[in-house]
Amino acid sequence: MKTGYLDCTCGISGDMTLGALVDAGVEIDQLNEVIGSFGLPGCRLVAQEVRKHGFRATQVTVEYTPEQPPRHLSEILSLIEASRLNSHQKDTVGRIFRRLGEAEARVHGVPVEKVHFHEVGAVDSIVDIVGVAVGFDLLGIERLAASPVPTGGGTLDMAHGRCGIPAPATVELLRGIPLAESSIQAELTTPTGAAILATLVDRFGPVPAMTIDRIGCGAGQRDLEGQANVLRLFVGRAAADQNETPEAVWVVETNLDDLSGQMIGYCIERLWETGALDVWTTPIQMKKNRPGVTLSVLCRADQIESVQEVLFAETTTLGVRCWPATRRVLARQAHQVETPWGPVQGKIAWLPDGSARFAPEYESCRQVATERNMVLRLVHEVARNAFDPSTVRRDN
């Protein structure tokens, strides 16, 4: 399984993560292409090589037309939906911003719909989050781990005035995430960085057993006294995947017969935000011949508690069932094919015999079909047939 590890010894921010991804091989032109679909005036990414305390790193900055107003969560989600991101990338960006919105809502004591983003609603933060989601997708990283993270100390000036470090939203986002001690009097972990960790990272601790293929080093904007302001990203293949060892997972489920379809749909959205591996419903017949559904969640052991919290909070259930299971997944990587109507994104899955299978992404096919007034089924079929396995190399 394609695995990434974030070495957050010096903290984490959106631009540091973006720099590490570009340094690990993500093409800056590919990022600028999707960012251009957001319609943000004059907005583009620029990458340069810098030195931080003697260490080489890639620093990515956002260039944009100044004096653009901060945005509400609903405005940002609308930008995401109208963009050229594929379905997986849209989901990732949306989950990160919802995590940010929920943290800000708790800090200010307002409904998430009323949250008015300031620092994280600015153009550079939006672009950082979009670039990070696209970058991880382009690298094909399926599981992400990270080290404990330092927050730094001191104070900083925000839209709501001066406050202590870590910022209030950062603290909310770091609930349940192990912190590392640091004497540096500066903001080492930003709200954007904390949201990336809270949304995308599966586990925290030392470097997992893996074979490292690429190393990316991303630089922050400021120079710190006593340490390099950098974030390292290791990309490789998990040792367990190399040995084809099944992965231990858990099934959490409950039966429901007195909840509307809309409420169940909302609960499913909340369950995806926990980082669950899969969520599904099954129609069942309950006592007294009442129709109902079984709501099932596949997750890892460290996600069971958060999954149960959502089920108890968002449904009428009085109890849930849990049991361990194992799963084996095919190695995958992102891939693009060319069709007569333009490029189509998709995923390559590597079968046990070493052969490759390509599956076009629905959202990418839908976009081509809409723009070209084509039949979706035809676009999907042509994209699938356009895949030539002899031209690809397994990226592991």
Structure-block tokens of residue 322: 């849990």
What per-residue confidence (pLDDT) applies to 242? 46
Half-sphere exposure of 38 toward its Cβ, with a 13 Å CA cutoff? 28
Domain 331-391 has CATH 3.10.20.300: yes
Structure-block tokens of residue 392: 């690809």
Q: Which helix (H) or strand (E) holds 163?
A: strand 161-164
- pLDDT, block means (10 residues), the chain with 396 residues: 92 95 95 88 90 91 76 82 88 90 79 59 81 94 93 77 83 90 90 93 88 94 87 86 65 94 94 93 91 95 92 95 88 88 91 86 93 94 92 68
What per-residue confidence (pLDDT) applies to 158? 66
Structure-block tokens of residue 300: 């890892």
Q: Which helix (H) or strand (E) holds 91?
A: helix 87-108
The residues near 168 (Cβ < 8 Å, ≥ 6 apart) are 107
**pTM (two decimals):** 0.65
Q: What class does CATH assign to 247-327?
A: alpha beta
Angle (deg, nearest 10), helices 14-23 and 123-139: 30
What per-residue confidence (pLDDT) applies to 119? 47
What per-residue confidence (pLDDT) applies to 14? 93
The domain limits of the chain are 2-242, 247-327, 331-391
